[in-house]
Amino acid sequence: MKKLLLAGYLTASLTGAVAASAPPKFQEVFELVRTNLGGLTPAQVERTALDAFLRQLDGNVLLEENAKPVPAVPTGPPVSKSAVFDGAYGYVRISHVSSKLDDAVVAEIAKLGGAGKLKGLMLDLRYAGGADQKAAARTADRFLAVERVLLTVDGETQRSTTKTNAIQLPTAILVNRHTSGAAEVLAALLRQNQVGLLIGSGTPGGARQFREFTLSTGQRLRIATGETKLGDGQAMPSAGLRPDIAVTVGGEEERAFFAEPYRGLGRTGAGSDKSGETPFGRLNEAELVRRMKEGQTLDAPAVVTAPSVSTPQVRDPALARALDLLKGLAVVRAAKP
């Protein structure tokens, strides 16, 4: 209890500096508390003061405990998987953002058929990380045909370039609470430059530039040295990115679907039959086209033919929403004169 009261007092002494014209000196307060408050050891007082101090800095200073070894820079391929869904919708899964990501994304899209075959693209940034924010800007540049400011990192401005071979496909970007670091920056850049919409759950935030110091205890202290600013001059939101289309999935289920998008989890209950199949099938592209031609509304109940055993259905909720979005866009584009 005394520890909680001390933490609250120290927090008040820090926040009170904003309102008071002459706040007390922190070191003076700390020494008085340390030498006069009973019930806590000196080590407990110091730890409580440290925790309260770090909390007030809102993630701009991070203490890494237990002297963990510095994580190695990812050495595997930045693109871990690619596929074509429903014959015309490309899928590229990014494992981490690193220096060769832009070339890897272009190569994978070409392998899948490029703009000549594909009607849409899904970039999967779920569980992706990385620290190379300049690589994130270079990757976003591949989707833009005109020059514009993308990002400011460490005072250096990253720009897109004018080009005739930009990737010009309707795009959905999959994100979740594990989309971090440079991957989170890439998602923000793609949305801000109207490349595509974010689908999934909110990202964690904290995409800042840090300088790292090793303490005498072997622990590491990371201090934010500058904000990452997007092309409009706004800093990356500390609370993370909010998706344009939110999809809520439990953590274990999300990982299971991520590993196998066609996987049926076998749950039964309202809205599902005994096999875990939803009885309300999603509108496929052919059904959308038929309704457009017949002047029907798109929100009417679908007449769905039971899928054949040989045609697997996507069960990953975020991926399914992305497919629905791209199929709808394809129908609208086809319907235009």
Which H, E and C letters describe 86-152, residue by residue?
A: CCCEEEEEECECCCCHHHHHHHHHHHHCHHHHCCEEEEECCCCECCCHHHHHHHHHCCCCCCCEEEE
Q: Which residue has the higher pLDDT, 297 or 335?
A: 335
User: Which tens digits make up the pLDDT trace of 297-323?
Assistant: 555 554 545 544 456 789 999 999 999
Nearest to 143 by CA among 101, 95, 204: 101
User: Which tens digits make up the pLDDT trace of 13-46?
Assistant: 444 544 556 788 888 888 888 888 878 888 888 8
> Are 261 and 319 within 8 A, CB to CB?
yes
Find all residues with CB under 8 Å of 270, minimum gap 6, and list them.
none
User: Which tens digits make up the pLDDT trace of 157-169?
Assistant: 999 999 999 999 9
The pLDDT of residue 85 is: 95
- Between 73-82, 96-105, 305-314, the lowest mean confidence (pLDDT) is in 305-314
The pLDDT of residue 295 is: 61
The pLDDT of residue 326 is: 97
118: its two tokens: 């594909």
The pLDDT of residue 301 is: 53
The pLDDT of residue 256 is: 94
How much of the chain, in percent, has pLDDT values that exceed 70? 73
The pLDDT of residue 274 is: 36
> Are 200 and 126 within 8 A, CB to CB?
yes
Q: Which residue has the higher pLDDT, 214 or 118?
A: 118
Measured from the Cβ of residue 203, the count of other Cβ atoms closer than 10 Å reads 29
Sheet holding 209-214, edge to edge: 61-64, 220-226, 209-214
Phi (first) and psi of residue 274, to 5 degrees: -65, -20
The pLDDT of residue 27 is: 86
pLDDT of 182 over the 50 cut: yes
Cα(70)–Cα(235) distance, rounded to whole angstroms?
27
Q: Which residue has the higher pLDDT, 172 or 218?
A: 172
Q: At how many degrees (to 10) do helices 181-192 and 133-141 cross?
A: 30
pLDDT of 208 over the 70 cut: no
- Give the strand pairing for 120-124 and 220-226: unpaired
Nearest to 133 by CA among 119, 150, 110, 116: 150
Secondary structure (3-state) at 264: coil
Q: Which residue has the higher pLDDT, 88 or 268?
A: 88
User: Which tens digits make up the pLDDT trace of 248-274?
Assistant: 999 999 999 999 998 765 543 333 333
The pLDDT of residue 337 is: 65
Nearest to 330 by CA among 67, 70, 121: 121
**Domains in the chain: ranges and CATH:** 2-56 (no CATH), 79-251 (3.90.226.10), 264-335 (no CATH)
pTM of the model: 0.70
User: Which tens digits make up the pLDDT trace of 324-334?
Assistant: 999 999 998 88
Q: Write the single-letter amino acid at 211.
A: R
The pLDDT of residue 54 is: 76
User: Which tens digits make up the pLDDT trace of 194-203?
Assistant: 999 999 999 9
Secondary structure (3-state) at 64: strand
The pLDDT of residue 70 is: 45
The pLDDT of residue 276 is: 38
User: Which tens digits make up the pLDDT trace of 1-12?
Assistant: 445 445 554 454
Find all residues with CB under 8 Å of 233, minimum gap 6, and list them.
none
- Give the strand pairing for 120-124 and 149-153: unpaired
The pLDDT of residue 81 is: 96
User: Which tens digits make up the pLDDT trace of 40-71?
Assistant: 888 888 888 888 887 776 566 777 766 554 44
Cα(93)–Cα(320) distance, rounded to whole angstroms?
15
HSE of 54 in the Cβ direction (CA atoms, 13 Å)?
14
Nearest to 237 by CA among 306, 192, 188, 270: 188
Mean pLDDT, the chain, integer? 81
Between CA 132 and CA 143, with CA 138 as vertex, the angle to 5 degrees is: 135
Q: Write the single-letter amino acid at 27.
A: Q
Cα(303)–Cα(280) distance, rounded to whole angstroms?
9
Q: Which residues pair with 296 in a beta bridge?
A: none
250: its two tokens: 């439990």
